[in-house]
Structure 1
Amino acid sequence: MQIIIAEDDHDDRVLIEDALLENGIDAKVTTFVKDGEELMELLNATKKLPSIILLDLNMPKKDGRQTLVEIRDDARLKHIPIIIYTTSQAEEDIKLSYKHGSNTYFTKPSKFSELVELIASIKSYWFDNAKLGKEK
């Protein structure tokens, strides 16, 4: 299980990493990138694609909205599950994220305990129950 997390905020990155560890997810399976441009460079440079991507919508250079569309338009990448993880609660962002192929949309919680619960939910569904397709 490989996870890429696209998140530009350093504090949020630390909190996510701590919440992953609280849920028994080894930091070795996680790669952080700071924006959509860096995410696309990484995806295009690697042979081993991630099992899942956590994608923030509000990032510099190339935001999550643009990146989501780019991933879904790429035959090699479009099968990767994408979880939107963002501060935006805008109905338009939610609708457009699903329209453009996100698998799930979460608003960042305000408390660390809620983040730990959220990561537990993601782990339970995506890691323990969902059947993730393998790259051919």
Structure 2
Amino acid sequence: MNINISKPVNVFLVEDNPGDVRLIQEVFKEAKINNVLHIARDGEEAIHMLNPEGNPKLPHIPDLILLDLNLPKKDGRDVLIEIKNNERLKCIPVVVLTSSNREEDLIESYKNNANCYISKPTELNKLIQVIKNIGEFWLDIVKLPPR
């Protein structure tokens, strides 16, 4: 996959697992996805960074959010609700990328307007393929709302 987007896509990753963060960074780099990856390591930091008065690490509204559900400080389920109830943020596609296989989490995520729900595979090669597929689908095939 070689996604040629003239303007970098702002991807906001909300993930507390450092190994998953590094893997996503490497897969996006290897796939030559033209992106700027912003990272929040817990739910509170995510909400803070999405706030216009928040941390200047995220200077623009992201084009895509990759959200883990099981986060410290503020649960990813609550982060999803805040994003989708915020007039300024609700059009941003949110991909729930989580280790949870619980049906309740799946149903609750879609009820709270997640755009996609993906359970992280436990096998490394399958996880790499899932991340590549996310990049290809959301950053090459799908037309994202303008920012």
Question: Shared fold (TM-score greater than 0.5)?
Answer: yes
Percentage identity across paired residues of the two chains: 40
What is the TM-score with the length of structure 1 in the denominator? 0.92
- Does the aligned pair in 2 maintain the 1:4–1:32 contact within 8 Å? yes
How far 1:47 sits from its partner (Å)? 5.3
Post-superposition Cα deviations, 1:56-105, rounded to whole Å, max 9, x if no partner, equal 00001101100000000100000000000111000000000001010111
In the alignment, the residues of structure 1 paired with residue 60 and residue 89 of structure 2 have an alpha-carbon distance, to the nearest angstrom, of 11
Bigger drift between 92-101 and 115-124 goes to 115-124
Task: Please state if 1:85 is matched with 2:97.
Answer: yes
In the alignment, the residues of structure 1 paired with residue 128 and residue 67 of structure 2 have an alpha-carbon distance, to the nearest angstrom, of 17
Of the three residues 78, 82, 87, the one matched with 1:75 is 87
Bigger share in helix? 1
How far 1:22 sits from its partner (Å)? 2.4
Structure 1 partner of 2:122? 110
Aligned length: 134
Of the three residues 29, 40, 46, the one matched with 2:36 is 29
Of the three residues 116, 120, 126, the one matched with 2:132 is 120
How far 1:25 sits from its partner (Å)? 2.4
Flag as ranges the 4+ runs of structure 1 deviating above 6 A.
none
Structure 2 partner of 1:5? 13
Q: Which amino acid aligns with 1:44?
A: N
How far 1:116 sits from its partner (Å)? 2.0
Question: Which structure 2 residue ranges, 5 or more long, are not aligned?
Answer: 1-8, 53-57
What is the TM-score with the length of structure 2 in the denominator? 0.85
In the alignment, the residues of structure 2 paired with residue 70 and residue 97 of structure 1 have an alpha-carbon distance, to the nearest angstrom, of 12
What is the DSSP-based 3-state SS (H/G/I as helix, E as strand, rest coil) of the residue aligned with 2:32?
Answer: coil
